[in-house]
């Protein structure tokens, strides 16, 4: 979705709405860097101060993260997701792990019962991306790819409420993954997720749930590079 220039002197809320649309539509994915201030000024046809005000407003709402010297990055896809990130920024990571297990084990079990052929295609692609990200050696790429795989499992559960809650907790989950992964990828700590996909593909809800729980419990401790 291309940014459209405004036809009259814009108000800051008009610019905020356009930037928010880029985020919520997925054009600017979570973790990505948005265009520079100068580029936004040119694309939107508005004053620099208006763009700056809009970006600051979205940062205040938790959708954007302004990093001095690096740029501005998408932090969340909704204001609620931003609130959740701030609320649990200092949460005990063991408790976040328990929350992840509760949601992802339930989602995996439901996915095994409800997945469609299209879901399986998306899960396969997400798993391939996860493995490529691991071999790239970039911790942040791996975190994003791992989170995308788990999000695909949740989507395959076909429970809109569960999917919405999980999406709003997205950055909380990614922060937990960063905590587990650490500053570098270590081969001995790799945990494969093939078992989750195999169980979902086979329609085995009990095994899918167990595999999801094992993956979370083993994260950062169990070596399973060939699974």
* Burial state string for 108-140 with b = 16 or more CB within 10 A and e = fewer than 16: bbbbbeebeeebbebbeebbebbbebbeeeebe
Within-domain flag for 29: yes
CA–CA distances in Å: residue 184 to residues 23, 135, 136, 142, 151: 29, 12, 11, 10, 23
Low-confidence winner among 33-37, 48-52, 82-86, 96-100 (lowest mean pLDDT): 82-86
Specify the pTM: 0.72
Q: How far apart are the first and last CA of the chain?
A: 38
- Is 24 or 110 the better-scoring residue by pLDDT? 110
Count of H-run helices and E-run strands, the chain: 11, 2
The string of pLDDT tens digits covering residues 115-147 is 999 999 999 999 999 999 999 999 989 998 999
Within-domain flag for 119: yes
The string of pLDDT tens digits covering residues 49-67 is 999 999 999 998 888 989 9
pLDDT of amino acid 9: 43
The candidate with the shortest Cα–Cα distance to 184, out of 141, 144, 146, is 141
User: How far apart (Å, rounded) are the C-alpha atoms in residues 162 and 107?
Assistant: 8
CATH number at residue 56: 1.10.10.10
Domain co-membership, 100 together with 168:
yes
Range of the domain at 213: 82-218
Percent of the chain whose pLDDT exceeds 90: 63
């Amino acid at each position: 979705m291309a940014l459209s220039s405004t036809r009259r002197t814009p108000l800051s809320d008009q610019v905020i709405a356009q930037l928010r649309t880029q985020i919520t539509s997925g054009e600017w994915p979570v973790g990505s860097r948005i265009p520079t201030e100068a580029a936004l000024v040119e694309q939107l046809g508005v004053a620099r101060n208006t763009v700056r005000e809009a970006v600051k407003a979205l940062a205040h709402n938790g959708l954007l993260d302004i990093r001095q010297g690096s740029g501005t990055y998408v932090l969340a896809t909704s204001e609620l997701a931003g609130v959740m990130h701030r609320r649990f920024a200092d949460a005990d990571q063991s408790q976040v792990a328990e929350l992840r297990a509760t949601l992802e084990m339930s989602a995996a079990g439901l996915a095994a019962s409800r997945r469609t052929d299209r879901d399986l295609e998306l899960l396969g692609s997400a798993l391939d991306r996860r493995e490529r990200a691991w071999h790239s050696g970039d911790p942040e790429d791996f975190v994003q790819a791992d989170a995308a795989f788990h999000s695909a499992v949740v989507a395959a559960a076909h429970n809109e409420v569960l999917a919405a809650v999980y999406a709003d907790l997205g950055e909380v989950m990614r922060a937990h993954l960063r905590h587990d992964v650490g500053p570098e990828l270590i081969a001995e700590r790799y945990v494969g997720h093939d078992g989750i996909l195999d169980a979902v593909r086979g329609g085995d809800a009990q095994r899918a749930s167990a595999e999801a729980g094992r993956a979370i419990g083993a994260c950062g401790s169990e070596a399973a590079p060939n699974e």
